[in-house]
Structure 1
Amino acid sequence: MRSKLFVPGDRPALFAKAMAGAADVLSFDLEDAVAASAKAEARTQVAAFLGDAPHRVAGKQVIVRVNAWHSPLWEDDLRAVLALDVDLINLPKIESAEQVRQAVAEIEAIEARLHTRHAPGLLVNIETPRALRHAAAIASAHPRIRGLQLGLGDLFEPHGIRRSALQNVHAAQYALRMAAAEAGVFAYDAAFPGLDDEAGFRTEAESARALGYVGKSCVHPRQVAWANAVFAPTQDEIEAARHIVDAARDGVYAVDGRMVDAPFLARARAVVALADGNRA
């Protein structure tokens, strides 16, 4: 999940192109990227495109970002999305564990009415100060939660927090990453608004990668290559990880002069799996 490309739900001309692109994950957006007047049409277009599950043929993971659980669009979005074979539903505007549990109860009620056989996981946006403060509880609120996604625009802009100051970005990234780690779910980095600012994108992405984030959201296809490059393990990292995994098979717990125990081995195996998956 190195790169996740947002695809506006009201732009069907972009759907097939995005599916054929280099992003690991496509996030079809029914929320912020769609004007209020186009919400219903966007929902119809996304459902029609994903109905034949083209992502299973293309080898993509697919997420659909629905409108907020308390909005009048929520139930219609769920009825359309839960009938599809998608990997994750992205929940925006969540601020507490109780809201997660309410949302899941409504999701499961609709699934029961639809007699669905597929139960997608949940990716929860953390995009307000309150949500960040409660992030660990939110991430632990239900087993269907797979990850937390940082939303820096909504988190910073209304409060005058300067995003160009990397220490501000790092503080938010660190807080969310620790919450995700406590709950045992993945952390995903925020979208970056600068479409031509490769250096700025990479700076944020490299900070996230150093904290153990699995990837970064992209709002334009050109950003996908930047995310894929930053979050791909380097050859040195791959070779070191293979060395640890190979040594562990022989019961060796000191590799190249360093102690290797269970956490190091688990990380090495994850790096090897990612490298092998990227090469496949």
Structure 2
Amino acid sequence: MRSKLFVPGSRPELFDKALASAADGLSFDLEDAVAEARKPQAREALRELLRSGQARASGKTLIVRVNALDTAHFAADVAAVAQPGLDLINLPKPECADDVRRAAAAIEQAARANGFAHGVDKPIRLLLNIETPKALRLAGELAAAHPCVAGLQLGLGDLFEPLGIARRESAAIQQAMYAVRLAAGEAGVFAYDTVFANIKDEAGFRAEAELSRRMGFLGKSCIHPSQVPLANQAFCPSDEEIGHAARVLEAARDAEARGVGAYVVDGKMIDPPFVKRAEAIVATARRLGLLPA
């Protein structure tokens, strides 16, 4: 999921266009992008979309950002969207492991009520927003709180703005990314990058997306369709990366046959951690059609 496009749940006229877009994932929003008075209608529009099968046919990763646990909308949101077509529920502002467990229990209960076996059929998993100082400090605990957690998503606007930290402060961005990536790595889940609000600043978006890829993030959130191709490009391995990774795997097979533990490829010393990275690059290249299966 190199790119994830936000789509307001209150704008069903945009659903078809989003489903036909180049985004790898769609995050239908019931939280900040939907006015209070329109949340019930948005909820029902998403229930209808997920039940129709049209969204699943798109082949995209389907996500719904619900309202936070402590709001009056959370339970109704989950009850509406916990449908077999949904991949992830994006949970805003979890503050402790118990929040994660409560959300997981609510999803499982809603899924059963909507007629599918959550533990047997493909389960709906959680994408946790890391967007408060406490969540950043406890990110590892949140990620490991329940098996249904699939990933952590950085939210720099909510994290930085109340603290007076400039959103474009590179040192702060790098530190936040690093903390979230290590927490996700410890728990064995993915890390996903935040949005970039300046739609017209393509160079700024591209630079931040390239930084997050170097930090080991899976992809970047997009608030406008024009950002999707930028994210897709940033998170696509280059020909040079793919070639090097393929040579590493070939050398690894040869080294294993000869009983050698470490060896040199393209002038670089290679051992098991580098092989693991090469395997991930080649797998991504094959999934994107850049290498034959």
Could you say which TM-score interval applies, normalised by the shorter chain? over 0.9
Question: Which of 164, 170, 189 does residue 168 from structure 2 map onto?
Answer: 164
Q: Is the 8 A contact 1:147 1:187 kept in 2?
A: yes
Report SS of the residue matched to 1:71. Answer: coil
Matching residue within 205, 210, 217 for 1:201: 205
* From 218, 221, 225, the counterpart of 2:229: 225
Are the equivalent residues in 2 in contact too, given 1:47–1:84 (CA < 8 A)?
no
Q: TM-score, normalised by structure 2?
A: 0.92
Unaligned 5+ runs, structure 1: none
CA distance, structure 2, for counterparts of residue 55 and residue 258 of structure 1: 45
Per-residue displacement from partner, 1:48-74 (whole Å, max 9, x unpaired)? 122122233222111111111221111
Q: Which residue of 2 aligns with 1:214?
A: 218
Q: Does 1:145 align with 2:155?
A: no
Q: Aligned partners of 2:219 and 2:114: how far apart in 1?
A: 33
1:272 corresponds to:
282
1:248-279 deviation digits (Å, cap 9, x = unpaired): 22235422343322221111111111111112
Aligned residues: 280
Please report how far the alpha carbon of residue 104 of structure 1 lies from its aligned counterpart in structure 2 after TM superposition. 1.5
Residue 179 of structure 1 corresponds to 183
1:12-42, CA deviations, whole angstroms, 9 ceiling, x for partnerless residues?
Answer: 1111101111100011111111000110100
Q: If the length of structure 1 is used for normalisation, what is the TM-score?
A: 0.96
SS in 2 for 1:27: strand
Preserved CA contact (<8 Å) 1:55 1:61: no
Per the alignment, residue 96 of structure 2 pairs with 96
Amino acid at match of 1:236: E
User: 2:259 maps to what in 1?
Assistant: none
* Counterpart position of 2:77: 77
Deviates more, 1:120-129 or 1:239-248: 239-248
Partner residue of 2:56? 56
Provide the identity percentage: 53
2:192–2:219 contact (8 Å) kept in structure 1: yes
Deviation per CA, 1:204-253, whole angstroms, max 9, x where unpaired? 11111111001000000000011111111011000011111222222354
Task: List gaps (5 residues or longer) in structure 2.
Answer: 257-261
Aligned amino acid, residue 268 of structure 2: R
Q: Name the Cα RMSD after superposition.
A: 1.4
Give the residue type in structure 1 aligned to 2:227: Q
* Aligned 8 A contact 2:104 2:126 in 1: no
